[in-house]
Structure 1
Amino acid sequence: MTSSIGQEKSSMRLVGDEIPLCKDCRFLKWHRKTTSITDSGNSISEIQHWISGTAATASDLAEAAGKTATYSGGLVGAVAGAGILQEKTGSFDARVQFGVSAYQVKNFSADFDGSRYSGASGLTPNNTVFHLTGASGTRTLQAGGYFFGGTTRGNAPPDIGGHFKVTGHDYHAAGVFAGSQR
């Protein structure tokens, strides 16, 4: 799951390499790539974030039927604005209800760049990425994700992760999130 944001005539400010996105995640990792190109006085900067790992299977999710799991973790993303591409971090909590053939993110609450977003997904087939939307003032967060790691019978997958974007009046951000079960 990849997310990138770029901007012309801008500099970059990165948070650093030791971002505690998900200190307890065992089955997924986050990555970052930065690019700056200058040609004939024009410059373009881009920050790309992505996660990779061992995705849970539909049967792993079915093993957790009837269970509700709570996940917590972090977000990292790039915010474009006023001649600067700046990396920001945040946090999230998610509550997920699992079923035999489908699951639902009942609540996804995220804090990012000074705003708090809350949303939920519809009922989603066990072999499909979830999608949700949340609003904060004039900004809208859209996120999509899935679960990582195998399960033991009757338990939910240990990790969750995905990508997000936030849009609003003169505001654009994109990044990834990763978390583990509490």
Structure 2
Amino acid sequence: MENADMRIRTAAGGVAAAAAMTISTGLGYAAAAPGDYSTLPVDPNLVTDSLAYTSAPPVFNPSGQPGVEAVYNHRDSSRQITTTVLVLPDAQAATAALNSARTQLAGEVTNAKTEPADVGSDGAMLTGMSSDGSQSVTVLSFAQGNTATTIEFEGTPTDPAPPDLVLELGRKQDTANRDWQGA
């Protein structure tokens, strides 16, 4: 998982750089005040209808950007889901951040395939293998208003994340982002 953590941090750094360049010119989710990102990440247990995933405390303002990152580990240590939601100044900055993160991730995932995903604005799903071949990797990315979201699923090479699970969690996250923004 160390390689995955580095990839996520690197992708978040790319998102931060894209946001900086741009700046220069109800499903039962708890409501939060603007600037309070604690309620943004959607727990994957809501989708799996289980208690299979546990989470570490969220990381606020990952890579110095306003937002939150939450890591969920499966109880048998075979899977990990990392959700990163950046809260940027506007929709244009969110789209630029996604494009930067996607370019970076596509270069880090072996046999990467990208296809559109019906989630949020400009949704896309990238699938492939970690660079060392030890894990399957699926990354769903999308924007919703001024938020840029990536949800990375890692598992064993023979057990990639089911697309239905990826899309369902993504749609719940999209709704949480929209609800948080008060849209």
TM over 0.5, shorter chain? no
Q: Quick check: which one's strand share is greater?
A: 1
Q: TM-score, normalised by structure 2?
A: 0.33
- Quick check: which one's helix share is greater? 2
Could you say which structure has the larger radius of gyration? Answer: 1
TM-score (norm 1): 0.33
* Greater relative CO (CA pairs within 8 A, separation 6+): 1
